[in-house]
């Protein structure tokens, strides 16, 4: 696979990487080595090796969600300080982009 500038830019966009020209050039040089290393890892025989996902013995501690009422005066103070709102709803910028056409 040839790592031309267009492919590097696509990988950066999909990975949300912001790089300057020098970093992009370094990335273009390093990606083939990274992929070669991944190929080496894929060739390792792991038959009979038990998957390890956690080695410290720690486990997640979960609690039930609990709805707590917020006093009305505090609610109104929070809402009043929010820069953009619709009634009692706080408007925030979108954090997801539709990138399905780029794949």
Q: Tens digit of pLDDT for each residue in 61-103?
A: 888 999 999 899 998 898 889 889 888 888 888 887 766 666 5
Q: Could you list the residue range(s) of the whole structural domain that residue 20 is in?
A: 5-42
Stronger pLDDT, 57 or 45, i.e. the higher one: 45
Domain-embedded: residue 78: no
Whether the CB-CB separation of 99 and 93 falls below 8 Å is answered with no
pLDDT at 2: 75
How many whole angstroms separate alpha carbon 87 and alpha carbon 79? Answer: 9
Stronger pLDDT, 48 or 96, i.e. the higher one: 48
How many whole angstroms separate alpha carbon 47 and alpha carbon 68? Answer: 50
Report whether pLDDT(8) > 70. yes
User: By percentage, how much of the chain surpasses pLDDT 90?
Assistant: 21
Domain count, the chain: 1
Domain-embedded: residue 27: yes
Tokens 């998957």, residue? 51
Token digits for 3?
């790592």
First vs last Cα of the chain: how many Å apart? 17
């Amino acid at each position: 696979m040839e790592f031309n500038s267009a492919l590097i830019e696509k990988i950066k966009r999909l990975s949300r990487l912001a790089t300057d020209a020098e970093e992009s050039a370094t990335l273009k040089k390093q990606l083939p080595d990274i992929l070669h290393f991944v190929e080496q890892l894929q060739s390792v025989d792991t038959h009979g090796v038990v998957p390890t996902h956690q080695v410290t013995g720690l486990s997640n501690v979960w609690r039930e969600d609990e709805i707590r009422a917020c006093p009305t005066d505090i609610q109104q103070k929070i809402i009043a300080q929010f820069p953009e709102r619709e009634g009692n709803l706080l408007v925030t910028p979108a954090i997801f982009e539709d990138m399905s056409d780029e794949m």
